[in-house]
Structure 1
Amino acid sequence: MDRNSIIKIIALMVTAFGIGIDFTGALMLVPAIENSFDTDITSTQWVLNIYALFFAMTMVAGGRLGDMYGHRKMMIIGLSIFLFASVLCFASPGLDYLIGARALQGIGAGCVWPCTLAFGATKVSKEEHRAMIMGLILAGVTTGNVFGPMISGAAVDLGDWRLFFLANVIFSCISMATAILLMERETEHKKGEHIDFAGIGILSFAVLLLLYGLDVGADWGWVSLPLLLLLSVSAVLFFLFPKVERRVREPLLLPQLMQNREFLITLGLNMFNVSAAFVGLLYFPQYMQKVLGWSVFQSALGLAPLTVLLAVGSIVSGTLYNDFGPKRLLLWGYLCATVGAASVVLMPTGTGYLQILPGMALIGLGATLTVGPSGTAAVCAVTPERAGLVGGLSFMTHLVYGAISVACATAIMYASSLSSLKTRLATAGIDMSEADQKAINSGTLTTESSKAVLQKLNAGEAEKVRTAIAAAFDTGMNMAFVFATFSVAAGIILALMLDEKKLHKVEG
């Protein structure tokens, strides 16, 4: 491989690294953001969910725009959006402002990521080097996934979680400089490309309403009329999506794909493998901080059994796919992830870090065996000319279902922990209003609202409340992993249904 190609690969890996640190790094900030804006987990989950949703829904359009106007140009535009959004995150005066900035970050990342992959696959080197180049780009993003929590942990330990987004600004500037200086302009672009904005809009709005409904359900009441209307509108939009897709010129889901049994199975296999990983990435750090009392940086190190396995898995999964085949890998991967999620529920409470360590390791191993192979299997289920489209769709499905999983798990977690807290307070003989219980539920007791509640109690009662909150969080987290266990277990059924022989046959 020539020197010029090596320099371009390094530039692409730098860009991928910057995207990688943002996703996992932001997860570690959840307790700090709760404290800063005096809110709870049902609201701060949007810091993850809104980013994942807008990243997912922008990605297909970003890839198409790159084909039409140049991948280098769209990378620079996407990095500019990401850089501007990172500045907004750094300067966020409130949670709503931060969530909006994170949505803008997702749009920027959704423009950058598919163009980074496309540039690496088509512009950097000879075709025989393509697999290695793609592996190096994925290594860049997964290395970022490992270092992201450490960077956010260091930022919080330095006294301000916003410093993490300052790191985003720095990496965005470096990525833009490398793209401008090291990547040549493209002179040939695809013509006649069309983007399914109608399908993207309807699907995005349907998912957004569903996520919002899961967020406010505990406050509005799960059978309240406003919530039922909201969820009904979301259901109608989901129902309309395939009908709209039949009418647009180039739909996200081609009719041929919807009639391809193996493609539909692999799309499902791309969905369910994220449930335990996403829930774990959100709740394991909180467990370490809220129950074990660890610092953010210590929690980042404690999360390593999960993040390191995710990083290593992206590098070795291609070799494993060729050696063992998708069916065997996916089956064993889903079994590992299911056992891992179940172990979080079954491990005895009070065992500290050991309560979550087996779960982290098995969920990480399960993701190693499923994330890469499920995407590869989806591409193998269709004709070669549709590989790019299906690759984008599989990753989009991956992120969207991840966001839905987090929202469902959080709704279950919050309701379960609140019920547990109410029972424990009653057992301890502490009379507390429902509003005060909600103010301290699943929290760190360092927000202004929780401090006001504690001031009403004497020292002995306050200590009982702290114990009750930690135990209630543990209960809520376990229930979130009950959901994750059943969700991931659905992948076992799909893996058993997969017909490997049909994967490599050209569809009719």
Structure 2
Amino acid sequence: MERDSIIKVIALMVTAFGIGIDFTGALMLVPAIENSFDADITSTQWVLNIYALFFAMTMVAGGRLGDLYGHRKVMLIGLSVFLFSSVLRLIAPNLDFLIGARALQGVGAGCIWPCTLALGATKVARDEHRALVMGLILAGVTSGNVFGPIISGFVVNLGDWRLFFLANVVFSTVSTGTTLALIPRETDHKTGEHIDFAGMGILSMAVLLLLYGLDVGADWGWLSAPLLAVFFLSAVLLGLFSRVEKRVRQPLLLPQMMQNRQFRITLGLNMFNVSAAFVGLLYFPQYMQKVLGWSAFESALGLAPLTVLLAVGSIVSGTLYNDFGPKRLMFWGYLSATAGAASIVILPMSLGYLQILPGMALIGLGATLTVGPSGTAAVCAVRPERAGLVGGLSFMVHLVYGAVSVAVATAIMYTASLSSLGTQLAKAGIDMPAADQKAINSGTLTTRTAQAIMGKLDAHQAETVKSAIATAFDAGMNMAFVFATISVSMGLILALLLDERKLHKVA
């Protein structure tokens, strides 16, 4: 590869690295954000969910806009949005402001990522180097996935979680400069492309309402009229999305693709593989900090068995696709992830870190064998000219279902841990108001509200409550992984139903 091309690839890898550190790094900040804004876990889950949702829903449009107006131009716009939102998060005065900035950052990432891939595939590499270039870009983002938690854990240990977003500002600035200096402007663009903004808007609102309902369900009551109305409206919008897709010129889900049984199966395989990984990325760091008492930096290192496998495996699995076939890879991958999620439920809390270590390794291995092959299989289930659309669509489904999985798991976790906490306090003879139990449930006990509640207790009662909260968190996490186990196991069935003979070959 020529020196000029190598420099351009490095520039794209820096951009990919910035995307990678943000996704996993922000998860390590959840306990610190809870303390800073006196929030609970049902609120801080939006740090992951809102980003994943807006990233997913913007990505297809970002790729299409790049086709129309130039991938370099759209990527620079995305980097500007990413940089601006990072500054907003750096100065966020409250949790709602932070979540809004996180949503905006998802929009920026949704413009950056497809355009980064397109530039690597079409403007930087020769045909014979394309696979190498795409692998290097993927290595950039997965390396970011590994280093993100380490960076965020380090800044939390310094005493200010906001410093993590300063890293986003630095990488966004560097990426913008290298793109302007090293990536040439494009002159040829597609014409006649249409973007399904109506479909994306309706689907986004439907999913957003579903996530919101799962967030407030424990407070409103799962059978309350307002909550049922939110779920009903979400279902109505999903029905409307289906009708809109039949009328627009270029829908997200082309009817002829949805009539393809193998494509539907591969789309499902792109969904279910994310449940255990997303739930683990959210809860493993919290378990290490809230139950084991580890620092944020120690928790980042403790998460390495999962993040390193996700990073290395996503590159290696591509080389296994043709040798072993997607059916075999995904079956064993889903089996591994199912066993990993189930091990979290089965192993006792008394094992400490060893309760989650086997699960992290098995979930990471499962993701290694399913994420890449499921995306490739989806592309191979349709005609080659639809590869770009299906690649973006499969990743969109992947992220949206990941956000839904986290919301469902958190609703289950919060309800189960609150029930466990109440039972333990009753057995210990501690009479604590329900409102106070909700305030300290699954928390770090260092928020202002939690400290005020704990201040009402004598020393013996305080130790009993601390032990009860840790046990309740573990009980809630176990129930969250019951859901993850069931969700991931659905992929086993789909892997068995996949007919490899109806997928075209990949080079």
Match of 2:399 in 1: 399
The CA deviation at 1:322 is 1.5
The residue type paired with residue 194 of structure 2 is H
Alignment of 1:346-365 (within 5 A): 346-365=346-365
1:74-114 per-position Cα deviation (integer Å, ceiling 9, x unaligned): 11100000000000000000000000000000000000000
CA distance in 1, matches of 2:23, 2:198: 27
The CA deviation at 1:127 is 1.1
1:16 is the counterpart of 2:12: no
CA distance in 1, matches of 2:103, 2:236: 24
Is the 1:82–1:108 contact (alpha carbons within 8 Å) kept by the matching residues of 2?
Answer: yes
The CA deviation at 1:505 is 8.2
Is the 1:213–1:227 contact (alpha carbons within 8 Å) kept by the matching residues of 2?
Answer: yes
CA distance in 2, matches of 1:150, 1:262: 40
Match of 1:486 in 2: 486
Is the 1:206–1:235 contact (alpha carbons within 8 Å) kept by the matching residues of 2?
Answer: yes
Alignment of 1:359-438 (within 5 A): 359-438=359-438
The CA deviation at 1:153 is 0.4
CA distance in 2, matches of 1:374, 1:42: 30
Alignment of 1:64-463 (within 5 A): 64-463=64-463
User: Unaligned 5+ residue runs, structure 2?
Assistant: none
CA distance in 2, matches of 1:248, 1:378: 23
1:370-422 per-position Cα deviation (integer Å, ceiling 9, x unaligned): 00000000000011110000000000000000000000000000000000000
The CA deviation at 1:455 is 0.7
Is the 1:381–1:505 contact (alpha carbons within 8 Å) kept by the matching residues of 2?
Answer: no
Is the 1:14–1:140 contact (alpha carbons within 8 Å) kept by the matching residues of 2?
Answer: yes
| Counterpart secondary structure, 1:20 | helix
1:59 is the counterpart of 2:65: no
The residue type paired with residue 364 of structure 1 is G
CA distance in 1, matches of 2:113, 2:317: 20
Match of 2:476 in 1: 476
Is the 1:421–1:441 contact (alpha carbons within 8 Å) kept by the matching residues of 2?
Answer: yes
Is the 1:290–1:470 contact (alpha carbons within 8 Å) kept by the matching residues of 2?
Answer: yes
| Counterpart secondary structure, 2:20 | helix
* Percent identity over paired residues: 80
CA distance in 2, matches of 1:155, 1:497: 46
1:447-496 per-position Cα deviation (integer Å, ceiling 9, x unaligned): 00000100110011000000000000000000000000000000000000
CA distance in 2, matches of 1:264, 1:61: 22
TM-score (norm 1): 0.99
CA distance in 2, matches of 1:64, 1:405: 28
The residue type paired with residue 232 of structure 1 is F
| Counterpart secondary structure, 1:468 | helix
| Counterpart secondary structure, 2:349 | coil
CA distance in 2, matches of 1:468, 1:358: 25
Is the 1:135–1:314 contact (alpha carbons within 8 Å) kept by the matching residues of 2?
Answer: no
The CA deviation at 1:132 is 1.3
CA distance in 2, matches of 1:495, 1:125: 34
1:293-316 per-position Cα deviation (integer Å, ceiling 9, x unaligned): 000000000000000000001110
Match of 2:45 in 1: 45
The residue type paired with residue 205 of structure 2 is F
TM-score (norm 2): 0.99
CA distance in 2, matches of 1:316, 1:447: 43
Is the 1:86–1:105 contact (alpha carbons within 8 Å) kept by the matching residues of 2?
Answer: yes
Is the 1:418–1:438 contact (alpha carbons within 8 Å) kept by the matching residues of 2?
Answer: yes
1:411-435 per-position Cα deviation (integer Å, ceiling 9, x unaligned): 0000000000000001111100000
Match of 2:501 in 1: 501
1:45-100 per-position Cα deviation (integer Å, ceiling 9, x unaligned): 00100000000000000000000000001111000000000000000000000000
CA distance in 2, matches of 1:4, 1:452: 61
The residue type paired with residue 261 of structure 2 is R
Match of 1:467 in 2: 467
1:208-238 per-position Cα deviation (integer Å, ceiling 9, x unaligned): 0000000000000000000000000000111
CA distance in 2, matches of 1:236, 1:504: 37
| Counterpart secondary structure, 1:29 | helix
1:328-369 per-position Cα deviation (integer Å, ceiling 9, x unaligned): 000000000000000000012211000000000000000000
CA distance in 1, matches of 2:145, 2:264: 29
CA distance in 2, matches of 1:474, 1:404: 21
Is the 1:335–1:489 contact (alpha carbons within 8 Å) kept by the matching residues of 2?
Answer: yes
The CA deviation at 1:194 is 0.7
CA distance in 2, matches of 1:195, 1:155: 40
The CA deviation at 1:242 is 1.5
CA distance in 1, matches of 2:489, 2:67: 38
Is the 1:280–1:360 contact (alpha carbons within 8 Å) kept by the matching residues of 2?
Answer: yes
Match of 2:26 in 1: 26
CA distance in 2, matches of 1:274, 1:479: 17
The residue type paired with residue 362 of structure 2 is L
RMSD of the alignment, in Å?
Answer: 0.8
CA distance in 1, matches of 2:494, 2:238: 22
CA distance in 2, matches of 1:320, 1:280: 25
| Counterpart secondary structure, 2:124 | coil
Aligned length: 506
| Counterpart secondary structure, 1:390 | helix
1:132-173 per-position Cα deviation (integer Å, ceiling 9, x unaligned): 111111110000000000000011011110000011000100
| Counterpart secondary structure, 2:442 | coil
| Counterpart secondary structure, 1:248 | coil
The residue type paired with residue 74 of structure 1 is V
